[in-house]
């Protein structure tokens, strides 16, 4: 028998469900161990019936504020009104020209903003986020 006590799941002997050794790795064993207050014994409970359905094409993803798979232009608020565009792999602003490199969409599966003109490329921060330069890069589901 187990019960939820705060963020711990405790058995009838007072032991907590524990990720063995506190090592966050694929296929790591789960054990019961005396409560120690460490993170590898803390659990969040999410009830399935409280989950919202994933938005589908054309629906708004409220968490990201974008419509799923609905093409858009990103227009600067500067007086030029230029659109975000791709030059090489860099994101730049350019005069609106209707080219696919100026069109983007939110991909629900990867949770990234993808390019229409450069297939399978998403907005990215260069050098795995260790730069300030925005680019499009092979979609890897990371925002950095």
Do 24 and 75 lie in one domain? The reply is: no
Contact 35/8 with Cβ under 8 angstroms? yes
Is 46 within a domain?
A: no
In tens digits, the chain (144 residues) has pLDDT values of 678 899 998 987 899 989 989 888 888 888 889 999 999 999 887 776 777 888 999 999 988 899 999 999 999 988 888 999 999 999 999 999 989 999 999 999 999 999 999 989 999 888 877 777 898 899 875 544
Domain that holds residue 120: 60-138
* pLDDT for position 143: 47
Q: What are the tokens at 25? A: 């790795």
pTM of the model: 0.67
Half-sphere exposure of residue 108: CA atoms within 13 angstroms, side-chain side: 14
Do 134 and 67 lie in one domain? The reply is: yes
Do 70 and 130 lie in one domain? The reply is: yes
Do 70 and 120 lie in one domain? The reply is: yes
* pLDDT for position 48: 66
Q: How many domains does the chain have?
A: 2
Positive or negative, the CA dihedral 7, 10, 14, 19 is: negative
- Expressed in percent and rounded to 5, the helix, strand and coil fractions of the chain are 10, 35, 55
* pLDDT for position 128: 76
Residue 43 to residue 58: CA distance in whole angstroms: 35
Is 47 within a domain?
A: no
Contact 67/34 with Cβ under 8 angstroms? no
């Amino acid at each position: 028998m187990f019960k939820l006590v705060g963020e711990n799941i405790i058995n009838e002997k007072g032991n907590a469900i524990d990720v063995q050794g506190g090592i966050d790795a694929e296929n790591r064993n789960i054990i019961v161990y005396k409560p120690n207050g460490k993170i590898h014994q803390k659990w969040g409970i999410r009830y399935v019936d409280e989950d919202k359905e994933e938005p589908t094409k054309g629906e708004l993803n409220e968490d990201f504020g974008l419509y799923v798979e609905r093409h858009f232009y990103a227009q600067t608020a500067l007086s030029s009104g230029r659109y975000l565009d791709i030059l090489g792999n860099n994101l730049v602003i350019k005069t609106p020209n209707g080219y696919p490199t100026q069109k983007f969409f939110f991909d629900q599966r990867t949770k990234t903003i993808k390019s229409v003109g450069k297939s399978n490329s998403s907005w990215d921060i260069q050098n795995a986020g260790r730069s300030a330069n925005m680019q499009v890069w092979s979609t890897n589901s990371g925002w950095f």
